[in-house]
Amino acid sequence: MTGTAGELAGVGEVLAALADPTRRRLLDALAARGEATATTLSAELPVTRQAVVKHLAVLERAGLVEGRRRGREVRYAVRAAPLDATARWMAGLAEEWDTRLAAIKRIAESGQPAED
């Protein structure tokens, strides 16, 4: 797989953050709105504002959102770079598996025993 150790660690954080359906819904809501506060987001989801704040903290640690303070509010927006890096990693992984599966298919169809 391609990527530096730091990029691969970031991919792990992104995948862990995206494992939760509420966090995915928060990202979708932020992507649709451009930016929003935790209060606004909690009105759209069946969770409390405090739960939204905790989920946003996980997303922020993974680099998926950025919070900017404006007066008394913190407005959150999606950061696309970590999603792009994760998509590239996944595409590379899929390409590796496609290559391996194609080799297995060639061996199986040739009738020749596999080399050790």
> How confident is the model over 14-48, as pLDDT tens digits?
999 999 999 999 999 999 999 999 999 999 899 99
Domain spanning 5-110: CATH 3.90.1150.10: no
Using the Cα atoms of residue 54, residue 56, residue 62 and residue 67 in order, give the sign of their dihedral: negative
d(CA 99, CA 83): 24
Check residue 87 and give its pLDDT. 84
Record the tokens describing residue 26, joined without a space: 């928060």
d(CA 1, CA 11): 12
Check residue 1 and give its pLDDT. 47
Of 16, 30, 12, 17, which Cα lies nearest the Cα of 67?
30
Q: Compute the average pLDDT of residues 80-86.
A: 86
Give me the residue spans of the domains in the chain: 5-110
For the chain, percent of residues with pLDDT exceeding 90: 55
Least confident of 11-20, 57-66, 87-96: 87-96
Strands 36-37 and 65-70: unpaired
